[in-house]
Structure 1
Amino acid sequence: MKLIFKTDPNIAAETALIFTHPQEPEIKQQIETAIQMNEKTITALTALNNRNIQLPIRTILIVESEERMCNLRLKTGELYLYPKRLKYAEADFINNGFIRINNQTIVNIKEVKQFAPTTNARIEITLSDGSTYFISRHYIKNFRRALS
């Protein structure tokens, strides 16, 4: 197998374009498997039976603080518990496309569909599932930096 890497400024950031020969479907399968194996996962708890489950981090929509734990809400609407306080959980999520928007919430920046300014120097964001949240004044700089 021969690998050729090229960069193209015309494609979107965080996008990779991979070409394979149509007569070599096993190579395509090997590449897909390698990428999926390299995907970051976290260990969460199911609330019903208190069992651990591995979740791909890209499937998480929002992380919300709840006493000494966090709620993880997936894009599908499922809820799981994350056994850390939000200030410690932030380190696990912040380098994977998540941003803190207030004292109780961390969101997946890729799932923000629209945002608009509101009163008291805050910004209201709408996520892909239609839910809305407010970015407090303290976290607006981080939000703007993440968008650029």
Structure 2
Amino acid sequence: MVQLLCSNRVYEKLKQELSKYQIDIKQDSDLVLVESGFDLPREKLCVVFEAIDYMDVIKLLVSGARGDLHFTNTVTGLSDNKFAVIEPRDVIYIEAGSDGLLAHTKSKPYSIKETLQYYESLWAARGFIRINKSQIVNLLHVKEIVPWFNSRYVLRMDNHAELEVSKMFSKKLRNTLNI
């Protein structure tokens, strides 16, 4: 539960993002998200942010306030008309396709909901990293990193898939893995 002190435009964006994580907005909350330039309320814990950085505030809240909840630890996937509860450690990579998101595990792919950005931010602390505009990978399942053309890489995964890291995301991968 949080209170928001911000412009109407930012309020609507925050409200939409907070609802995805079941975080309620209440005026009497002890935690207040305050857009820079607004007055800070007295005797309340305040998080001040720039309007352009509103997603960073969401990441901060989700990683700290909601990290203990079970729904952040699992995903429900659909395969062969059956649902399965999947642990993040079992997901090798997630990719966006024409039919939505697929979470690939060692046994089979599962259709899942939400967006790549949702899983990228929610599971970043678990070792998931975006490698191109349509895929995020679990670094725990990378077997080999092969240098490729134009400062790119190919990742060979546990399930024998080979995934290309685009030039745009290569730098983040290098920084993350210190290569």
TM-score with structure 1 setting the length: 0.64
Contact 1:100 1:139 in 2 (8 A): yes
Shift in alpha-carbon separation, 1:88–1:67, aligned structure 2, 3 A: farther
Q: Percent identity?
A: 23
In structure 2, which of residues 87, 97, 100 is the aligned counterpart of residue 56 of structure 1? 87
Distance 1:93 1:145, change over 3 A: same
How far did 1:96 drift? Answer: 1.0
Aligned to 2:7: none
> Where does structure 2 lack aligned partners over 5 or more consecutive residues?
1-69
For residues 88 and 98 of structure 1, the distance between their equivalents in structure 2, rounded to whole angstroms, comes to: 11
Correspondence for 1:43: 75
Runs of 4+ aligned structure 1 residues displaced above 6 Å come to: none
Shift of 1:88: 2.3
- Map of 1:88 onto structure 2: 118
2:169 counterpart of 1:139: yes
Match of 1:71 in 2: 102
Task: Give the structure 2 partner of residue 111 of structure 1.
Answer: 141
How far did 1:57 drift?
Answer: 0.9
More helix, by proportion = 2
The letter for the 2-side match of 1:79 is: P
Query: 1:97 corresponds to which residue?
Result: 127
Residue correspondence of structure 1 range 8-27 to structure 2 within 5 A? none
Query: What is the CA–CA distance in structure 2 between the aligned matches of 1:50 and 1:66, rounded to whole Å?
Result: 20
- The unaligned stretches of length 5 or more in structure 1 are 1-37
